[in-house]
Structure 1
Amino acid sequence: MSNDALALATEMGKVFNDLDEEAALTYIGAEFVDHEAPPGTPGGPLGYLGTARWVHSAFEGAKWEHLDSFAEGDRAVLRLRFTGRHVGDFLGIEPTQRPVDVEQTHIYRVENGLVVEHWGYRQDLLMLSQLGAITLQAPTPAA
């Protein structure tokens, strides 16, 4: 199943990069759970597509570039580069017009030929720094 899981996970890029509703309905199971989504976010294919639309509303030119991937059993892992320009409210941060460029890791679980679960890990501190919401400082060496 590893190759099938990887192929399906890769197709998920059509949902986020292209906002492709047909891809969402084709590749995502009705019982899909996005473990990264905020509480109250709908599940299923249209819930995941809604999350993609929200990210696109906050970041003009939002794009996820495939950097690396592998699969084992019913899970596929994709390492991606996310880029865009902050033009809309993002988690309470007013638009800054600043570009963002961060890496993300996404894990998808496949069951019966459909993606049914998602976990995501992002460089959130780096993104917040790029938006000017926080300042990152190098750690002071220990004495």
Structure 2
Amino acid sequence: MSKEALDLAMEMGKVFNDLDEEAARKYIGAEFVDHEAPPGTPGGPLGYLGTARWVHSAFEGATWEHLDSFAEGDRAVLRLRFTGKHVGDFLGIEATQRDVDVEQTHIYRIENGLVVEHWGYRQDLLMLSQLGVIALKPPARPA
């Protein structure tokens, strides 16, 4: 199933990059769970599409570029580069008009030909630094 899992995971780009509702309904199962989403976020294809729309409302030109991927069994892993300009509220952070450029890792589980689970891992500290919310300082070198 590895090839099928990878192919389906790659289709998620149509949902997030293109906000393609048809792709969401075609490739995402009704019981889909996004383990990365904030509590109370609806599941299923329209819930995942709603998350994509929300990110696009916060980041102008939001794009996820494929960097690397692999699959094993019923799971596929994608390493992506996320870029965009922060123009709207994002997790309580008002628009900064700053550009972000971070890597993300997304894991998708496939069941019966549909994506049914998602886990995501992002460079959140780097993003917050790029938004000017926090300052990242390298650790002090021992004397």
User: What TM-score comes out, normalization by structure 1 length?
Assistant: 0.99
Corresponding residue of 1:107? 107
1:1-143 matches, within 5 Å, as 1-143=1-143
SS of equivalent to 1:25: helix
CA–CA distance in structure 1, aligned partners of residues 52 and 127 of structure 2: 17
RMSD of the alignment, in Å?
Answer: 0.5
Unaligned runs of 5+ in 2: none
Q: State the 1:141 CA deviation.
A: 1.8
1:64 partner letter:
W
Number of equivalences: 143
Note the alpha carbon deviations across 1:20-74, whole angstroms, 9 max, x for none: 0000000000000000000000000000000000000000000000000000000
**Dislocated runs of 4+, deviation >2 Å:** none
Q: Using the TM superposition, give the Cα deviation of residue 80 of structure 1 relative to its aligned residue in structure 2, in angstroms.
A: 0.1
The aligned amino acid for 1:61 is: G
Q: Which amino acid aligns with 1:111?
A: E
Q: Percentage identity across aligned positions?
A: 87
TM superposition score normalised by structure 2: 0.99
- Consecutive unaligned residues of structure 1, counting only runs of 5 or more, are none
Amino acid at match of 1:120: G
SS for the counterpart of 1:12 is: helix
State the SS of the aligned residue for 1:92.
coil
3-state SS of paired residue (2:17): helix
Structure 2 CA distance for aligned equivalents of residues 12 and 93 of structure 1: 26
